[in-house]
Structure 1
Amino acid sequence: MAERKANPVNVEYETRAKNLLKAELKRKGITYRQLAEKLADLGIQENERNLNNKISRGGFTAAFMLQCLEAIGANDIRL
Structure 2
Amino acid sequence: MGAMSPEDHMQEPPYAQWEDRARELVVSTMVQRDLSYKDLARLLESYGIEESADQINRKINRKRFSAAFLLACLAAMEVETVPVF
TM-score range, shorter chain: 0.7 to 0.9
- Structure 1 consecutive aligned stretches of length 4 or more whose deviation exceeds 4 Å: none
Q: Show structure 1 runs of 5+ residues with no match.
A: 1-6
After superposition, the C-alpha distances for 1:18-65 in whole angstroms (9 at most, x for unaligned) are: 111111111111110000001111111010000000000111000000
- Residue of structure 2 equivalent to 1:34: 39
SS in structure 2 at match of 1:77: coil
Answer with 1 or 2: which has the greater Rg. 2
Q: How many residues align?
A: 73
Q: Name the structure with the higher helix share.
A: 1
SS in structure 2 at match of 1:8: coil
- Residue of structure 1 equivalent to 2:25: 20
Q: Show structure 2 runs of 5+ residues with no match.
A: 1-11
Query: Cα RMSD between the aligned structures?
Result: 1.2
Identity fraction in percent: 33
Matching residue within 60, 77, 82 for 1:72? 77
- Residue of structure 2 equivalent to 1:57: 62
